Structure 1
Amino acid sequence: MALLLPALAAAAPLQVQVSDAQGRPLPGAVVFLQSPEAAAAAKPLSGAEIAQQGKQFLPQVSVVTVGTAVAFPNRDTVRHHVYSFSPTKRFEIKLYIGTPVAPVVFDQPGVAVLGCNIHDTMAAWVLVLDTPWYGQTDAQGRVLLDKPPAGSYRLRAWHPALPVGEAASDQALALPASGARADIRLDKARP
């Protein structure tokens, strides 16, 4: 009797360089691959948190997958009132110190902009993705996605310096088993 196993596609590394309108490297950009297979492979993360410390959100940009529950611990000695009015996730955690009992579940893809009703200078972004294949660019604007299988994808990139509501860049990508390099230019990212 033969045992049939599904063929496993080999990981195809993808190196991506992201730059701004002037061609300068863009650190902190989130690069991700989307496809029906990517959506099926995405699983919620565990242990995600966005802290408030020094009257700022840490990290300022968070990337989570759909279904991830995010804790919002307040490590300051002052109260915060965390909220998002973004269509991706609307929520409000009214004045509190410590850690709220229930984390916030981010259940649909998109960008959620966070703020504090008490401290107007506090802002953060949560990019909610339906793919396990993503990463953030380093100081040279580079990122290596080393786990996706070869296949057809939408290669996308987002940065908090894009205008509010601006969609992530989007281009077709046929990723061969040998891997590939790609360049992305985010012309609308403000310095």
Structure 2
Amino acid sequence: MLADSFGEVVGVDLSEPLLDIASVKRGRDNVRYVRSNVLDIREEGGFDLVYSHTMLHHLEDYRAGLEHLKSLVRPGGTVALIDNVSDLCPTPPRAAYTWPAVWGFPRSVRELGLRDAWFMLRFWHSKPWLDHLLSDRYLSRDQFRSLYGSVFPGAHFDDLGFALAMSWKAPALN
């Protein structure tokens, strides 16, 4: 969608397989996919829009990540960030992930069929997926607003339920 509104779009991820999928499914002449840590991204002149969706909770240092994303937007540009939040922070317990999968199993059977529902249930209980989820470090809603607001003064926040969204417009050059 961004490729329709911007001359160039840069997608960043650490996962080469995910970037391969994105380039096949969402490849466009004006979209470039880069395998990189977001903290290593540099762009002379900055971007008109810096957008991140549910990535920041993976960073060791939230503030450093936020400051870096802010440094990537050009004057008059916009930063739009969405990230998961949890009042059970910093990490919800294992049961917060496994029990919903069990409770939702009958619905999944109706919607997906037994074979795919069984696959999903096993996936949600698999050690690699749980290790990934349990390594996440979330902010509470109050911590999110406080930290993001300190880096992006005057930012606008929206509560999305599982996540908070923040938008901020960089001051234009006079």
Compute the TM-score of the two structures, normalised by the length of structure 2: 0.27
The structure with the largest helix share of the pair is: 2
Q: Which has the higher contact order (CA 8 A, sep 6+)?
A: 1
Structure with the largest fraction of strand: 1
Taking structure 1 as the reference length, the TM-score comes to 0.25
